Amino acid sequence: MKLTGDTIAAIATPAGEGGLAVLRISGTEAIPLVSARFSGRTKLSAAATHTAHLGVLSDADGTVVDQVVATVFRSPHSYTGEDTVEISCHGGLLVSRRILELLLRSGARLAEPGEFTKRAFLNGRMDLAQAEAVADLIHARSDAARRSSMSQLRGFLSDTINELRSSLVDAVGLLELELDFAEDGYELIDRTKVAALLDGASRSVRDLTETYAVGRFVRDGVRVALVGPTNAGKSSLLNALLRESRAIVTDIPGTTRDVIVENLLIDGILFRVADTAGLRTTSDFIEQEGVRRSTREAEDADIVLVVLDTARDRQSQLEEIGSVVAVNEGKKFVIALNKVDLSGEKMEEWGDLDGPLGSSPMVPISALTGHGMRELEATLSGVIHSDRAHETPSTATITNARHYSILLRVTTSLELAIQSLKGRKSGEFIALDLRNSLDELGAITGQVTTDDILNSVFSRFCIGK
């Protein structure tokens, strides 16, 4: 255990008025430091671990700052692995700040962002992947993100990474055993066995890497761009999805000229829905800029939700959106056939579509009456959940861009090792690539790390965590 020498303190709850606030103090002097300013039935310096005590905190001149509950956690059975005290005081900016100032004057240092969790990592209470999950859990904006963060915090990703490292260590061990006898011309290893180990590891890494395609949706949300001709009902659809009047709706073509982005939760997944300007040729400079922004939004989207007016001519609308559809060929499309309450016989024209939209799901809706809205939400959710069908509560999913980039490098190193093995190259070349893979995988869990990596990871945390 790598206990640090200084004692840190911070307010652990958000700023503002509330029923209570919590301050956290951790370090070798945490308990005596608080005990010197605390008066209660039990002296904190003698208190047992995991016990809570009612009392008052007083300044050096005896002035009572607040009545508090102090909870003692003794090393190593605390969040940080160090002696820790958590002070619950009355909520409000003034009281919590006065207590923090008291602690700092008594010898504590203000904690840096994420320093409590960083100490938990350094003291072996969690690995780096689990520490990152703490930040993700705090910032989770959907139930899916919360579940994914909890899975990582419970160690499912770390277990998967450690299993991969273990198989690679076995392969390196076999190769290095042979190197000890290379000068005598002996070949002691079964290269078929090594090949099987590397092939299995490579498949596992590829499978894990592929989960990022959905994992990033879970963490960051799914970007959905509403695109379509003018007056197809995109703004009305956004309002219907949000169940509030967020975007201006008029009969005047080109009303929407900028991008409006709102968050929407569907089946536990966060969707970031962007209403965009209608696609058409126009001489209006401002509207032209709106069309350009619509095009960019579609290119950046994960799902392009095409809104078409079933009461108007089908072919002319498809021509108006043709360029945007062509640029985004291969992307996930969902087609909302809007205004079915007005289309009448024209609805018969809306059969299957050709080209990039041909295999896309089509949902008849009316943004005005609400017809088909649940079906549309289910379709959007289904596009994402269909990619998650293989998941179980214990499935490791990559949601972190840092982990994803590491796994890509591991894949490259493993491919080089497999090629060297097939080419009958010396075991030292193969072992070198495998050791690179081991180091990269170790960077995910923190078994191999640098100060730059740690600073980057923990800078994302709030002060007090």
Question: In this structure, is residue 84 part of a structural domain?
Answer: yes
Same domain, yes or no: 247 and 380: yes
Domain check: are 202 and 296 in the same one?
Answer: no
Produce one character per residue of 210-242: b if its CB has 16 or more CB atoms within 10 Å, e if not: ebbebbbbbbbbbbbbbbbbbbbbbbbbbbbbe
End residue of a domain, out of 388, 408, 434: 388
Domain assignment present for 310: yes
Tell me: do 264 and 301 sit in the same domain: yes
pLDDT at 187 over 80: no
Q: Are residues 243 and 98 in the same domain?
A: no
CATH assignment of the domain containing 295: 3.40.50.300
The DSSP call for residue 133 is H
Q: Provide the pLDDT for residue 144.
A: 86
Question: Closest Cα to residue 262, out of 363, 141, 147, 382?
Answer: 141
Q: Which of 342, 371, 388 is the last residue of a domain?
A: 388
Residue 459 lies in a domain: no
Comparing 125 with 177, which gets the higher pLDDT? 125
One domain for residues 33 and 92 = yes
Whether 185 shows a pLDDT value over 60: the answer reads: no
Radius of gyration of the chain from its Cα atoms, rounded to whole angstroms: 29
16-26 tens-digit pLDDT: 888 899 999 99
Decide if pLDDT at 74 tops 80.
Answer: yes
pTM reported for the whole predicted model: 0.78
**CATH code for the domain of 70:** 3.30.1360.120
417 and 325 housed in the same domain: no
pLDDT value at position 3?
47
Q: Are residues 108 and 78 in the same domain?
A: yes
Same domain, 186 and 226: no
pLDDT at 391 over 70: no
Verify that 264 and 176 share a domain, yes or no.
no
Domain final residue, candidates 84, 107, 126: 126
Is residue 122 predicted with pLDDT exceeding 80? yes
pLDDT band at 373 (very low <50, low <70, confident <90, very high): very high
Q: Tell me what pLDDT residue 1 has.
A: 40
Q: Do 58 and 198 fall within a single domain?
A: no
- Judge if 365 and 227 occupy the same domain: yes
Residue 394 pLDDT greater than 60, yes or no: no
Burial of 246: CB neighbours in 10 Å, binned 0-12, 13-18, 19+: middle
In the chain, the number of structural domains is 3
Mean pLDDT, residues 337-343 = 88
Range of the domain at 405: 133-211+396-446
